[in-house]
Amino acid sequence: NTPPLPSTPPPSSSGNLSPVVESPRTTHQSSIDCASPNDLLQKLHQAPTEDCHVIMWQPLDTTPANVTVLGSVVPPATASSLLEISKLPFYMKYAWFLHQVHDLVVPYDELHIKVKVMRDAIVQEAVENLLSYPPRALCAIVRYEFTGESAQDAGAVQREWYMLVSEGLLVEANGLFVVLNREDNSYFINPNSSHAWRLLYLLDHDNAQDLALTFSVSETHGHNTVVEVELVENGHLRAVTDANKAEYVRLMVRYLVFGRVEAQLSALLQGVYDVVPPELLMPFDHKELILCGLAEVDVADWKANTVTSSNLDNSSPLQVVCLYFSIVVEAMSPVDRSRLLQFATGSSRVPVQGFKGLTSYDGEICRFTLKGVPYEGGAYPATHACYNRIDLPLYPTKDMMKEALTMLLLSDPTGPTMTKTFDAQDTLPKLPIPELADSLKHYARSVSVLQTPEEHAATQKKIDSFLAHDGAALQEKLIEYAKDKNSFIEDFWYEAYFNYKASVVLNVNPFFVLEDDPTPSRANQVSRATSLIVSSLKFIHALRTETMKPDVWRTTPLCMNQFRMLFATARCPTETNDAVQVAPNSKHIVIVCRNQFYWFDVMWEDGTAAITEREIMDNLRRIVDDANSRPPATVSSSAVGVLTTEHRVSWAKLRKIDRALFLVCLDHTSPPTASDFASTALHGTYEIVQGHQTGTCMNRWYDKLQIIVCDNGVAGVNFEHSVVDGHTVLRFASDVFTDTVIRYSSVL
């Protein structure tokens, strides 16, 4: 009972024009003319064109409404149905459209395509692949894999591929499009010409003849060829006057937006309709056909259309994590919200219908989902753009969530994914060798603060002499030496440390003071040490299974190699120079209490914990009881930790302990101030009891990473510095403390 489709639509306002098919186009006419053709355009030139059509400029009021852009005539019954569909609300039209195009998809079992692509050649490869596909393959399911990356495509990689290809096609250097307005990123088909006609000025002012315009346009083709295009027959002979300037402006608009890009627009439309039949788009108006979605992210709409896992719903005590997420997102800048949306859904824009219109990779409605996952030290949110989901660690505080989301946004949502701790190692650049003059300039500035003016003048004279004579040759040797090395300085670094013969105490080993444990019940030695051991074992497990998030600076991955040397590593002395010993399969830790050494296994071969927190605490209590039962004189006479403070050659002959994951030093002191503990962490305390030296200086092993815990629960880390820098140990200390906070919150 639908009314018949009228033969023509209602008259449109002046200027609303529609392209329609005129006749088949020749191969020459369908090619894309480019001022500087490159490989991409040449590929497009070679595209088959036997089915291409030309288009023409025609007013809507003279175009039959039941004729598609390609010139096919829609049957009356179908046209009538399309007219009724065009009157529906957008969301209903969109649902109808999805249902229709679903029937176009080739079943996966019949045909599917797997494509490996390289990021640095993604546009070129896309053009080559798409031009090689038979027509049916354009509606087949395609799965993409970026070369050298481990992500599996369940839809998110495909979205990323489409986005990167779309962005690449819009790059002006490729010659397909030009930017009209950089502020709103609007583009136009590249016409290979440049015009700056002030048409509005012409309409608003008199004396048009003074501008010496004619009904023609001069175009530059290639680099040197100028072609005059006639807007009307013999247009170059017809002057523009006040009487005919309106006609001139109308013809110029037609030429600028249509005539000069006719071939390109024809090819573009043909490409669209090769995939989507034109009649499926007829019910939509021009605003509804905008493909880019909404740029503004409405936080209230986002929140209203978010699905949460059961551990985050309103009945869960962890529901506060959702509140943290909302607060953090609301406080973000519009740009950061769009980046977060890009991570979560694969697109930085919201569907026209809002968040309720989010779909999965297969076009089905798929709401944004927050899934609560257990928090482990250093964990960041994980995104699943295929299903519009964020796996959100159960952060105990809003600030911790904000920091994690901020770090996530500093990385690249479209760059290579680093899913493992050491994923980026092979892609890191080599350490650059600075220019010799720059090195000497920095050296002079550094030593100047330690010298008198006379001394510095003498130093500068030697620097100048070195630069003029031996410097250049030595610089060349350094460059040659570094050709096969990632870091030219690494061997020199180790040589400087390992040839050092004096005590490492004070001279080499640094320390960190840890924040107090937030759990009141852990303000004692055994409880605090147990907590630190548990958190440290989690860190080691993440490191060994390569699930620890790699460090980045903004979007740049940082070297993680030092973390391989943080645990189960010892500095071993010899009679010539020191060396590093690593025990990659180490499973035990060493406890030092009142200068006595104890050990027990804490891990299985696969890196999982082999002992519970309660068992660790019981072991520590027994160790403390045993150590306290020994007379001070007996203890000091049998202490071996002091050997690590000896001259390195002497100690080389007496070395005993190397292979532990790390040491825990249980000190029998309670430093009242931070300054007092700093002294304890750096070099320990000492005193003479019954003629024997005692104190925490004996309760150490300076050739390894050691966690120091005092009677009052105050703790710190002292570490051997030759193979790890402060930032590596600081990451360890930070993650360990974060884990203690998480476990405290779980108790609450």
- The secondary structure element, H or E, covering residue 732 is helix 726-747
Instruction: Compute the distance between CA of residue 635 and CA of residue 665 in angstroms, rounded to an integer.
Output: 15
Q: How many C-alpha atoms does 235 have within 13 Å on its Cβ side? A: 17
Query: Phi/psi at 687 (nearest 5 deg)?
Result: -160, 165
Query: Phi/psi at 143 (nearest 5 deg)?
Result: -120, 135
Which of 625, 627, 594 is CA-nearest to residue 700? 594
Which of 419, 353, 418, 413 is CA-nearest to residue 167? 413
The single residue of 52, 322, 386, 697 carrying the catalytic annotation is 386
Three-state SS at 75: coil
Cβ pair 76, 3 in contact under 8 A: no
Instruction: Compute the distance between CA of residue 731 and CA of residue 618 in angstroms, rounded to an integer.
Output: 29
Q: Where are the alpha helices (DSSP H) in 606-723?
A: 613-628, 632-638, 648-652, 674-683
Which of 516, 433, 510 is CA-nearest to residue 724? 510
Which of 456, 454, 437, 435 is CA-nearest to residue 446? 456
The residue length of the chain stands at 748
Tokens of 513: 């003071």
* 721 classed as catalytic: yes
How many other β-carbons are positioned within 10 Å of the β-carbon of residue 425? 16
Instruction: Compute the distance between CA of residue 240 and CA of residue 207 in angstroms, rounded to an integer.
Output: 10
Instruction: Compute the distance between CA of residue 126 and CA of residue 271 in angstroms, rounded to an integer.
Output: 14
* 386 classed as catalytic: yes
- The secondary structure element, H or E, covering residue 393 is strand 389-393
* Long-range contact pairs involving 195-204 (C-beta distance under 8 Å, separation at least 24): 195/256, 197/252, 197/256, 199/249, 199/252, 199/253, 202/240, 202/245, 202/248, 202/249, 203/245, 203/246, 203/249
Which of 242, 238, 209 is CA-nearest to residue 228? 238
Instruction: Compute the distance between CA of residue 442 and CA of residue 447 in angstroms, rounded to an integer.
Output: 9
Strand pairing partners for 556?
A: 553
The single residue of 45, 456, 692, 721 carrying the catalytic annotation is 721
Instruction: Compute the distance between CA of residue 189 and CA of residue 177 in angstroms, rounded to an integer.
Output: 4
Quote the radius of gyration of the chain (alpha carbons, Å): 36
Tokens of 491: 């061997």
Three-state SS at 52: coil
The CA distances from residue 62 to 10, 84, 646, in Å, are: 10, 22, 100
How many other β-carbons are positioned within 10 Å of the β-carbon of residue 223? 7
Which of 272, 360, 284 is CA-nearest to residue 94? 284
Instruction: Compute the distance between CA of residue 150 and CA of residue 158 in angstroms, rounded to an integer.
Output: 14
Instruction: Compute the distance between CA of residue 369 and CA of residue 387 in angstroms, rounded to an integer.
Output: 8
Instruction: Compute the distance between CA of residue 347 and CA of residue 342 in angstroms, rounded to an integer.
Output: 4
Hey, CA dihedral for 388, 394, 397, 403, is it positive or negative? negative
The CA distances from residue 23 to 63, 64, 69, 388, in Å, are: 16, 17, 12, 45
Tokens of 288: 């509804």
State the catalytic residues.
Answer: 386, 721
